[in-house]
């Protein structure tokens, strides 16, 4: 079965090519990790702590070991000398405090869901049955659960550390020489707005539960992992377990979404490898959804205190940010750095003279947090875009007008911001004008006015949000200056096969983005070979031996640029051979549309002919190596800065607090477009994830630290029925920091949509004097905000988001809970 | 162990299963029908949707023994004689999938939806797919794909590859 493609006329780049990836995915011929079954394969089940903080006093595994088809039961004590500690690659300060993170807890658990024992059996069902028979005794310890209280060291998440504060990180524009002093701005402010916002805890909730399979039977240990980062994983496993890197091979086969949630080196990966090594048999572990929601890393979870100084005409003069960021119980791969990725973005698209960012990273006895779509930048954008609305409200100005007054004008690019970043290109006026036009801004404002005047029980809210983000992670030098453990380059190879086909090997690791299609388009244009003749290989460290994987909207910007560079090297390698075979001077060789020709003549050869000639190597110039293959590594000189303007209209039923979205317009500028179909898909998906933070999703814990939203019954990933179709468009100002002129699109929708929707909710409630509603803006919170202005942001999160778990239920649960 | 006889994707299968075995585990582990995937443990996500006697069911919510004497169609059996089902084609043409994990279930549910209602409104499509979660696409293009498949249902319009996704 093949899907016939229409070949669009002209260049591949910019064409809405349908995806090469789809055929196997729509017919069920997939290679997700859980589909892998090897002869003699054993299956793992985890025993997890029901307590947020407890000492393990005894583990009795006898009954489990005696159960049918059980091969082995492991506890932390069994592997204490072997398992090492899970890695954190981003220590943000010299004196950062961290508790070593064992894959299997040895004598103490620090969050509910932490693994305390592992059953290895001949079938997944047998392993799960036997896991029920493992008897663990705990002495429960006081748990640090409330982020603000934890920041005060009221209860210690890790008593040995002596404090919950992991690190403090500051950026100060006066200190850095990039702006003036924030204290002066605050002192001289004509208008001063102080607000506190909550970034609730979210769960990435990729659709494919994490799955890991390890085959120890070859010379190399092979791991299949549902990961975004096979290359990083390989290195980190080697370092963690003391295995020579060359003895490991990591394969990310089909991976079912990640959103940052699979940017991790996990306990389960280490454990599956240890089990395979001990048994000498292939081993597999696939988590249940409940385990995934509980123990795969969470995202966001911050308190943000913001102080905005402005002049009476609406010109912002300074912004001060004080963050408390919840690390959870341990520091994952980039946990401490996530808030820092937002540090340079709180100024958004605006020209602020003074800026200060203070962040305290705090441990609690909760699942550890780490990257989630946007990572730091949605938090920053939310804060500033909410604050700009507050300023507009204060001055009774239109929210678009207040933004325009403060944003960087298109003629001012390149513009160095108060954070010292050089925004290379953008046109905020153009994107905003287009968005307003598509939205029918003035008409909707008129409707809003009518509804307000008639005291309509259903009020209309109009939300505005602009954004920019630093993408294309990242210039290696910048990462070095932020103490990140690795660089930010990306690698590609182009292999010219003797048959005329082409293999492009990339160090990026797609898990839904469509790299195979987009990279084919790039290589097709560059090399002048048909799209269909290009194969893109990825996600296997033995095939793609070098790479830094996929996250942070980096793949096209950095990895796509590496493909360009490698293809250009192929052409350069081919030129002397073409000159030799065409009996011309190399200076006279021209390359265009896949053909090398001699200038001013009709003599020429196709690139495929040269590939064959260089393969056979029968007639090469002296000293020229056979083959045309080339490798390239691209390290960007600067970040890229996509931007956009989003507008949202929604109806709020003031009698029920219910929200119904009417219209959502997103005009994004992500630079040059390789494939508009893929770009739109990324925007749509991002929008829904960002809207979900605004309206529905929250990881909710009870008072003993148990995750109560631990299934899709309670963790509200939106459905088709919750969402609407979107109106999207683009403006294009090419990035200047990469040869494709692209900026990255993976996170854009998620970043802009959250504040846009909350701004719309709050705007709808303006007649009631409401100035904030805490996320997620549930009907109950909205109703309470209408009836009691303070309730929107003041009440404890738990009580409001999950009203059916009242105090009594919680008490019953913890008393009768897992023992 | 209980003996069951099930016709799966056109082939008769006769197997011994534990009575507690879920249909999805039978399909994946005993028959190797790994095209049908498992996304949750509470019957919320719909990734495992298959057809039982022509109607969609979440195969994590059906015991294998309940399929005894019945006919199951999975995503792997949807195309006929090498020709993709119009809904499969529409998903490809409308870019209605990204990671593809929800796609088998989403397609099987969409087929069932269109069998019930050949000309659904956007709202009817959205409601009809409520039991299937997707985290990548934001549903926008999934809805479009179902609309496109509906527009071409019974005609050759969907089967052709004319036009782009917009």
In whole angstroms, give the CA distance from residue A253 to residue A505. 15
Mean pLDDT within B135-139: 98
A721–chain B Cβ distance below 8 A for any pair: yes
Residue A393 is encoded by which pair of tokens? 């409200």
Q: What is the pLDDT of residue A259?
A: 97
Residue A379 has pLDDT above 70, yes or no: yes
In whole angstroms, give the CA distance from residue A230 to residue A538. 10
Pick from B101, B107, B140: which is nearest to A208 by CB?
B101
Cβ distance A723 to B126 less than 8 Å, yes or no, reads yes
Residue in B23, B29, B70 with CA at minimum distance from that of residue A36: B29
Q: What is the pLDDT of residue A789?
A: 58
Pick from A32, A288, A681: which is nearest to B37 by CB?
A32
In whole angstroms, give the CA distance from residue A422 to residue A639. 8
Could you tell me the CA-to-CA distances from A335 to A90, A169, A414, A748 in Å, in that order? Answer: 7, 14, 31, 21
Residue A396 contacts by C-beta under 8 Å, 6 or more apart in sequence?
Answer: none
Give me the count of residues in chain A.
Answer: 819
In whole angstroms, give the CA distance from residue A202 to residue A693. 8
Cβ distance B137 to A684 less than 8 Å, yes or no, reads yes
Q: Cβ of A256: how many Cβ atoms within 10 Å?
A: 30
User: What are the tens digits of pLDDT across the range A767-792?
Assistant: 999 999 999 999 999 999 999 855 45
Cβ distance A26 to B88 less than 8 Å, yes or no, reads yes
Residue B121 has pLDDT above 50, yes or no: yes
Q: What is the pLDDT of residue A584?
A: 97
- In chain A, what are the domain boundaries? 22-29+489-634
Residue whose structure tokens are 């071409």: B152
Residue A692 has pLDDT above 80, yes or no: yes
Q: Which of A7, A28, A295, A709 to mutate to test the interface with B (most CBs of B within 10 A)?
A: A28
Residue in A254, A269, A263, A257 with CA at minimum distance from that of residue A222: A269
In whole angstroms, give the CA distance from residue A382 to residue A377. 8
**Residue A726 with chain B: CB contacts under 8 Å:** 138, 140
Q: Which of residues 366-425 of A touch B (CB under 8 A)?
A: none
Task: Indicate the SS3 state at residue A490.
Answer: strand
User: What are the tens digits of pLDDT across the range A79-93?
Assistant: 999 999 999 999 999
Q: Which of B81, B93, B99 to mutate to test the interface with A (most CBs of A within 10 A)?
A: B99
In whole angstroms, give the CA distance from residue A391 to residue A677. 37
Pick from A32, A254, A720: which is nearest to B143 by CB?
A720
Report ipTM for this prediction: 0.94
Largest interatomic CA distance in chain B: 52
pLDDT band for position B153 (cuts 50, 70, 90) = low
DSSP code at position A790: T
A260–chain B Cβ distance below 8 A for any pair: no
Cβ distance B98 to A257 less than 8 Å, yes or no, reads yes
User: What are the tens digits of pLDDT across the range A233-289?
Assistant: 999 999 999 999 999 999 999 999 999 999 999 999 999 999 999 999 999 999 999
B103–chain A Cβ distance below 8 A for any pair: yes
Largest interatomic CA distance in chain A: 89
Measure A500 CA to nearest chain B CA, in Å. 27
Determine which helix (DSSP H) or strand (DSSP E) holds A462, and give its type and residue range.
strand A458-468
Residue A326 has pLDDT above 70, yes or no: yes
pLDDT band for position A55 (cuts 50, 70, 90) = very high
In whole angstroms, give the CA distance from residue B95 to residue A677. 7
For helices B86-93 and B103-116, give the axis angle rounded to 10 degrees: 120
pLDDT band for position A586 (cuts 50, 70, 90) = very high
Q: Name which of A743-747, B94-98, B150-154 the model is least confident about.
A: B150-154
User: What are the tens digits of pLDDT across the range A473-500?
Assistant: 899 999 999 999 999 999 999 999 999 9
Q: Calculate the average pLDDT of chain A.
A: 94
Minimum CA–CA partner of B79 in chain A? A27
Cβ distance B161 to A288 less than 8 Å, yes or no, reads no
User: What are the tens digits of pLDDT across the range A536-549?
Assistant: 999 999 999 999 99
In whole angstroms, give the CA distance from residue A815 to residue B139. 42
Mean pLDDT within B30-41: 98
* CATH fold for the domain made of A22-29+489-634: Aldehyde Oxidoreductase; domain 4 (3.30.365)
Residue A630 contacts by C-beta under 8 Å, 6 or more apart in sequence?
Answer: A493, A494, A566, A567, A569, A570, A572, A573
Q: What are phi and psi of A644, to 5 degrees?
A: -175, 165
Residue A343 has pLDDT above 90, yes or no: yes
Task: Tell which phi-psi region holds residue A798, choosing left (phi > 0), alpha (psi between -120 and 50) or beta.
Answer: alpha
Minimum CA–CA partner of B90 in chain A? A26
Residue A386 is encoded by which pair of tokens? 């909410």
User: What are the tens digits of pLDDT across the range A703-726?
Assistant: 999 999 999 999 999 999 999 999
Q: What is the pLDDT of residue B52?
A: 98
Q: What is the pLDDT of residue B165?
A: 35
Contact A366, A52 (CB under 8 A): yes
User: What are the tens digits of pLDDT across the range A427-442?
Assistant: 999 999 999 999 999 9
pTM (predicted TM-score): 0.94
Task: Tell which phi-psi region holds residue A657, choosing left (phi > 0), alpha (psi between -120 and 50) or beta.
Answer: left
B147–chain A Cβ distance below 8 A for any pair: no
Q: What is the pLDDT of residue B152?
A: 85
Mean pLDDT within A594-607: 96
Measure A712 CA to nearest chain B CA, in Å. 6
The strand pair at A595-598 and A604-606 is best described as: antiparallel
Cβ distance B84 to A720 less than 8 Å, yes or no, reads no
Mean pLDDT within A734-751: 95
User: What are the tens digits of pLDDT across the range A288-325?
Assistant: 999 999 999 999 999 999 999 999 999 999 999 999 99
Q: What is the pLDDT of residue A6?
A: 43
């Amino acid at each position: 079965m093949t899907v016939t493609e229409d070949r669009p006329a002209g260049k591949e780049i910019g064409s809405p090519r349908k995806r090469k990836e789809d055929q196997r995915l729509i017919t069920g011929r997939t290679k997700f990790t859980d589909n892998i079954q090897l002869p003699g394969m054993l299956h793992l089940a985890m025993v997890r702590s029901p307590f947020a903080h407890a000492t393990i006093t005894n583990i009795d595994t006898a009954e489990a070991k005696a159960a049918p088809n059980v091969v082995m039961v492991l506890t932390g004590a069994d592997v204490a000398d072997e398992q090492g500690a899970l890695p954190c690659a981003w220590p943000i300060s010299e004196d950062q405090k961290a508790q070593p993170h064992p894959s299997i807890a040895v004598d103490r658990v620090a969050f509910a869901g932490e693994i305390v024992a592992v059953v290895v059996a001949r079938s997944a069902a047998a392993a799960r049955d036997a896991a029920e028979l493992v008897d663990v005794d705990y002495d429960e310890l006081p748990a640090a659960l409330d982020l603000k209280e934890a920041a005060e060291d009221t209860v210690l998440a890790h008593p040995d550390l002596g404090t919950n504060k992991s690190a403090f990180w500051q950026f100060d524009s006066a200190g850095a020489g990039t702006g003036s002093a924030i204290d002066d701005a605050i002192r001289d402010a004509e208008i001063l707005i102080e607000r506190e916002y909550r970034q609730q805890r979210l769960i990435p909730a990729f659709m494919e539960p994490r799955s890991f399979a390890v085959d120890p039977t070859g010379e190399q240990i092979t791991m299949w992992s549902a990961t975004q980062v096979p290359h990083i994983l390989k290195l980190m496993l080697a370092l963690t377990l003391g295995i020579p890197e060359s003895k490991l091979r990591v394969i990310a086969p089909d991976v079912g979404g990640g959103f940052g949630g699979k940017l991790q080196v996990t306990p389960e990966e280490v454990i599956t490898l240890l089990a395979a090594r001990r048994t000498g048999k292939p081993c597999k572990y696939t988590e249940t959804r409940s385990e995934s929601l509980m123990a795969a890393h969470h995202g966001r979870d911050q308190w943000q205190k913001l102080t905005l100084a402005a002049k009476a005409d609406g010109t912002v003069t300074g912004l001060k940010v004080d963050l408390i960021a919840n690390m959870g119980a341990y520091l994952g791969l980039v946990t401490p750095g996530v808030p820092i990725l937002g540090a340079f973005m709180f100024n958004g698209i605006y020209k602020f003279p003074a800026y200060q960012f203070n962040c305290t990273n705090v441990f609690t006895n909760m699942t550890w947090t780490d990257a989630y779509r946007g990572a730091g930048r949605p938090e920053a954008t939310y804060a500033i875009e909410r604050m700009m609305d507050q300023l507009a409200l204060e001055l009774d100005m239109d929210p678009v007008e207040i933004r325009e007054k403060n944003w960087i004008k298109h003629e001012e690019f390149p513009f160095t911001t108060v954070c010292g970043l050089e925004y290379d290109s953008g046109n905020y006026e153009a994107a905003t004008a287009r968005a307003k036009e598509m939205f029918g801004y003035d008409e909707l404002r008129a409707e809003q006015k009518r509804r307000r005047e008639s005291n309509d029980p259903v009020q209309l809210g109009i939300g505005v949000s602009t954004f920019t983000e630093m993408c294309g992670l990242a210039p290696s030098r910048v990462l070095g200056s932020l103490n990140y453990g690795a660089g930010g380059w990306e690698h590609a190879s182009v292999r010219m096969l003797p048959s005329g086909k082409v293999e492009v090997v990339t160090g990026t690791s797609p898990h839904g983005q469509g790299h195979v299609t987009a990279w084919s388009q790039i290589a097709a244009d560059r090399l002048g070979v048909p799209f269909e003749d290009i194969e893109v290989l990825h996600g296997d460290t033995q095939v793609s031996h070098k790479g830094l994987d996929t996250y942070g909207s980096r793949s096209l910007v950095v990895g796509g640029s590496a493909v360009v560079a490698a293809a250009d090297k192929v052409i350069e390698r081919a030129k002397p051979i073409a000159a030799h075979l065409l009996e011309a001077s190399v200076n006279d060789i021209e390359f265009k549309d896949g053909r090398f020709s001699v200038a001013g003549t009709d003599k020429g050869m196709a690139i495929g002919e040269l590939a064959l000639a260089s393969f056979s190597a029968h007639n090469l110039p002296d000293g020229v190596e056979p083959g045309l293959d080339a490798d390239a590594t691209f390290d960007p000189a600067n970040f890229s800065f996509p931007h956009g303007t989003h507008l949202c209209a929604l109806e709020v039923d003031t009698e029920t607090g219910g929200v119904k979205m009417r219209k959502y317009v997103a005009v994004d500028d992500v630079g040059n477009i390789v494939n508009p179909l893929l770009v739109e898909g990324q925007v749509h998906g991002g929008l829904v994830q960002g809207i979900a933070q605004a309206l529905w999703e929250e990881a909710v814990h009870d008072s003993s630290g148990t995750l109560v939203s631990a299934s899709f019954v309670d963790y509200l990933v939106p459905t088709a029925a919750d969402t609407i179709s979107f109106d999207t468009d683009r403006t294009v100002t090419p990035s200047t920091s990469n040869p494709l002129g692209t900026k990255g699109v993976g996170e854009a929708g998620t970043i802009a949509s959250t504040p846009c929707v909350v701004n719309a909710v709050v705007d709808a409630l303006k007649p009631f004097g409401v100035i904030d509603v805490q996320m997620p803006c549930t009907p109950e919170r909205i109703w309470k905000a209408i009836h009691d202005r303070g309730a929107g942001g003041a009440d404890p999160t738990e009580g409001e988001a999950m009203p059916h778990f009242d105090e009594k239920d919680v008490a019953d649960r913890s008393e009768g809970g897992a023992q | 162990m209980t003996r069951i006889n099930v016709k799966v994707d056109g082939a008769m299968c006769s197997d011994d299963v534990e009575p507690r075995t879920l249909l999805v585990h039978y399909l994946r582990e005993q028959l190797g029908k790994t095209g049908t995937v498992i996304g949750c443990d509470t019957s919320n996500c719909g990734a495992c949707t298959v057809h039982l006697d022509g109607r969609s069911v979440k195969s994590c919510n059906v015991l294998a023994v309940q399929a005894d004497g019945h006919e199951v169609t999975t995503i792997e059996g949807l195309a006929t004689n090498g020709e993709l089902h119009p809904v499969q084609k529409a998903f490809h043409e409308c870019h209605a999938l990204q990671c593809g994990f929800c796609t088998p279930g989403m397609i099987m549910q969409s087929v069932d939806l269109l069998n019930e209602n050949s000309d659904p409104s956007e709202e009817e499509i959205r409601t009809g797919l409520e039991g299937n979660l997707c985290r990548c696409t934001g549903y926008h293009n999934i809805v479009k794909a179902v609309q496109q498949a509906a527009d071409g249902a019974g005609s050759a319009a969907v089967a052709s590859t004319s036009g782009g996704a917009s």
